[in-house]
Amino acid sequence: MYKPTLIINKSTSHFSTRIWLVLVALTILTFAIGEEVVQGKAVMLSVLAIAFIKGQLIANYFMGLRHVSWLWRGIIMGYFVVVGGMVAIAYLL
Amino acid sequence: MNTNAALMNEDGSLPAEDLPGDFAIWIFILAEMLVFGVMFIVYAFARAHQLEVFNASQLTLNRGLGTLNTVILITSSYFVVRSVAAIKVNDARQSARWLLGAMALGAMFVVVKLWEFNEKFSAGITLETNDFYMYYLTLTSFHLMHVLMGMIILGCVVFKLKHGDYTAAEHFGVETGASFWHMVDLLWIVLFPLVYIIH
């Protein structure tokens, strides 16, 4: 009974390791963008888009929301859309 | 063919699971995210009224330390994922080890953040210097309190793990603590680019 569970657990671990590496890479990308002197609307929107992707990865794969009702995934995605959208509007005004 | 066939819905999809951990923690998480969300939006609109002050002050922040703390928090979240995976196969010892690792990273986050605050205080910067620093110090210290609270919660989970209170069949508390810690990470994911990077 235990063997299949362990196999599933091992593959889950490998998967979460990949998600972690993607998150670290996106963080370094954000830092690199921040170090660029030239800033503009496109750069601001790119950084917000990266934050959106990171938020989705954490919510769905670290918090485990991909297994639960779509309503909860929708709430977290909606949060990022509304907060990110309002921030973008404030910067574009 | 598929070992999960008996569990499948009529359309072939797997049934949705319950939220990980206690439902109450999810209400708490949403409330916290709402409070932080309002503060993020208020910051963005306050900035629009004082562009030059915000842009000039933001450039004095230590983006390297901010990035380091982001990597630290993301890694701690990953450790928490591994802890939950360990208890699901009944390995309470390993689960506790991953959580202790996450707490150590949490402590590193606190040290880096205090170092950063010390740099600013040494330069004579306070809450009253200007609106940017007021928001920066308020938002980051409010978030720091959540890191400390998360470390206490993870500490309680480790204590219970070491006393054999959690198993593969019953690990509700581990998932509850994990969910809170991921929220702390999630909030920083927005706070970091907003306050340190975008200008």
Domain chopping of chain A, boundaries: 2-92
Judged by DSSP in three states, B17 sits in: strand
- Domain count across chain B: 1
Q: Is residue B88 a part of any domain in this protein? A: yes
Q: In Å, what is the CA distance from B149 to each residue of A46, B62, B103, B106, B133?
A: 32, 25, 11, 10, 24
CB-based contact, B45 to chain A, within 8 Å: yes
Q: Is residue B8 a part of any domain in this protein? A: no
Residues contacting residue A19 through CB under 8 Å, at least 6 positions apart = A57, A61, A62, B78
The two structure tokens encoding residue B109:
């986050």
- pLDDT at residue A20 greater than cutoff 90: yes
CB B194 within 8 A of CB B40: yes
Mean pLDDT, residues B159-169: 96
CB-based contact, B35 to chain A, within 8 Å: no
Cα of B38 to nearest chain A Cα, Å: 8
Q: Is residue B36 a part of any domain in this protein? A: yes
Judged by DSSP in three states, A68 sits in: strand
CB B155 within 8 A of CB B103: yes
Asked which of A3-12, A36-45, B24-33, B167-176 is least confident by mean pLDDT, the reply is A3-12
Q: Which domain holds residue B163?
A: 19-197
Total-model pTM: 0.90
Summary mean pLDDT of chain B: 92
Residues contacting residue B146 through CB under 8 Å, at least 6 positions apart = B32, B183, B184, B187
CB-based contact, B18 to chain A, within 8 Å: yes
pLDDT per position as a tens digit, B135-150: 999 999 999 999 999 9
- pLDDT at residue A4 greater than cutoff 70: no
Q: Is residue B66 a part of any domain in this protein? A: yes
Percent above pLDDT 90 for chain A: 70
Mean pLDDT, residues A56-72: 94
pLDDT on residue B3: 45
Cα of B123 to nearest chain A Cα, Å: 22
8 Å CB contact of B85 and A16: yes
Chain B CB contacts of A64 below 8 Å: 17, 20, 84, 175
8 Å CB contact of A79 and B194: no
The domain that holds B44 is classified in CATH as 1.20.120.80
CB-based contact, B71 to chain A, within 8 Å: yes
